[in-house]
Amino acid sequence: MPVTIDPFHAITISRLAHQLGAEGRSVIHMEFGQPSTGAPAAAISAAHRILDSDGMGYWESPALKARIAAHYGESYGVAVDPERVILTCGASPAFVLALSCLFSPGARVALARPGYVAYRNTLKALHLEPVELACGEAERFQITADAIERLDPAPDGLIIASPANPTGTIILPDEMRALAMVCKRRGIALVSDEIYHGLSYTLPADSILQHAPDALVVNSFSKYFSMAGWRLGWLIVPEALVDAARARMGNLFLTPPSLAQHAGLIAFDCREELEGHLETYARNRALLLEALPQMGLKRIAPPDGAFYIYTDVGHLTNDSLASCEALLRETGVAVAPGLDFDPVDGKGFIRISFAVSTALVKEAIRRMQPWFAEKSRVTTPA
């Protein structure tokens, strides 16, 4: 029988946001983790040239695989054979490849709650069992090695993300090393979502490959490289899984878009432009961290990286989805309900993406301030 998976509620919010926009309303889109900037200028120029000269087709770029492999040596001091790099149509197919290579139906895979909605739902769709571990302020909203040590029986796998979605928290190096050690000792396969690498504000994020060479790594051009619509990502697998991953990629997805591969190769060397985006995100983050407590939103997950603020609104609502819809209709600011990321406690949280322009962040703050002030006035006992 097919399994039932939950909807992605942020998509529901986004549909309403676009509907309101089509009706002439001014809408600020902070519901998705989607950079408002486009691909680097040099990558776009290269794409124009390719469109004029190459008919394209099913193709896997050896040069791009080699460039990605070299990146791990440059950034993390880790040697990666280019043949271990599987190019994918974004991070989502990379997860499908990773999970289907590692696990048989019924396998149990641990993950943090809150966590990215598609982890839980992709596991369910593949007939795997999510083992969600509640992670709050005490754990910096991240799974700890101690929590994995205490699981009985041990799960078959563990998904980690650093920086994480929705919180932006980074796993500290000592904790990541401890996670790698406990997983190795207990025979737990590790999958690391590193899609937000490059987007850090407090400390750099380690790659799991620095601590667990046989882990599987998912990454993408969607976030740091500002190429979400190009649908290009990669999966790094240990040598023993190369054939299995390639077989799945070929049968399920063929190849990533050829045009995106050409552009991605150029994007890797557009660091000055991309670091400019990071500076914008840092300004936006600072503005929100100053403004939100003044709105009464004082309990915020540590936004070490990515481009999110995950904040507690439980003193105002126990229905984050309805609250996000009301905020959108009444102010034109679209944010994501915590229900997506935490089906248990997320009813009292929202996620705000600051991957937009600084001007839009300032305008969103201006609109939200009176709205949250009124909510606080209504819900505070006389």
pLDDT at 16: 96
Residue 15 has pLDDT above 80, yes or no: yes
pLDDT at 382: 42
Distance between CA atoms of 305 and 201, rounded to whole angstroms?
6
pLDDT at 356: 96
At 55, list the tokens: 């008919």
**Residues 215-240: what's their mean pLDDT?**
97
Whole-Å CA distances, 254 to 57, 131, 183, 257: 10, 31, 32, 9
Q: How many CA atoms lie within 13 A of 219 on its CB side?
A: 26
What end-to-end distance do the CA atoms of the chain give, in Å? Answer: 53
**Residue where a domain terminates, one of 267, 298, 332:** 267
- Is residue 240 domain-shared with residue 300, that is, in the same domain? no
**How many domains, in total, are found in the chain?**
2
Domain range for residue 283?
9-39+271-372
- Is residue 162 domain-shared with residue 35, that is, in the same domain? no
- Is residue 244 domain-shared with residue 347, that is, in the same domain? no
Q: What is the CATH number of the domain that holds 16?
A: 3.40.640.10
**Positive or negative torsion for Cα 116, 339, 141, 284:** positive
pLDDT at 380: 58
**Positive or negative torsion for Cα 302, 11, 360, 313:** negative
- Is residue 83 domain-shared with residue 196, that is, in the same domain? yes
- Is residue 333 domain-shared with residue 355, that is, in the same domain? yes
pLDDT at 47: 95
The string of pLDDT tens digits covering residues 295-335 is: 999 999 999 999 999 999 999 999 999 999 999 999 999 99
Buried/exposed code over 256-284 (b: 16+ C-beta within 10 A; e: otherwise): bbbbbbbbbbbbbebeeebeebbebbeeb
**Residue where a domain terminates, one of 236, 251, 267:** 267
| Residue 2 is assigned to a structural domain of this protein | no
CB under 8 Å to 256, separation ≥6 — which residues?
A: 60, 87, 88, 89, 90, 231, 232, 233
Query: Which of 244, 240, 204, 237 is closest to 65 using CA atoms?
Result: 237
Residue 7 has pLDDT above 90, yes or no: no
Whole-Å CA distances, 320 to 185, 233, 334, 344, 347: 40, 31, 12, 12, 5
Q: Radius of gyration of the chain from Cα atoms?
A: 21
- Is residue 53 domain-shared with residue 32, that is, in the same domain? no
| Residue 132 is assigned to a structural domain of this protein | yes
Residue 375 has pLDDT above 90, yes or no: no
Residue 6 has pLDDT above 90, yes or no: no
Query: Which of 180, 100, 124, 188 is closest to 152 using CA atoms?
Result: 188
**Residues 260-279: what's their mean pLDDT?**
96
- Is residue 213 domain-shared with residue 76, that is, in the same domain? yes
The string of pLDDT tens digits covering residues 76-86 is: 999 999 999 99
pLDDT at 96: 97
Q: At 355, is the pLDDT very low, low, confident or very high (cuts 50, 70, 90)?
A: very high
**Residues 340-356: what's their mean pLDDT?**
96
- Is residue 262 domain-shared with residue 290, that is, in the same domain? no
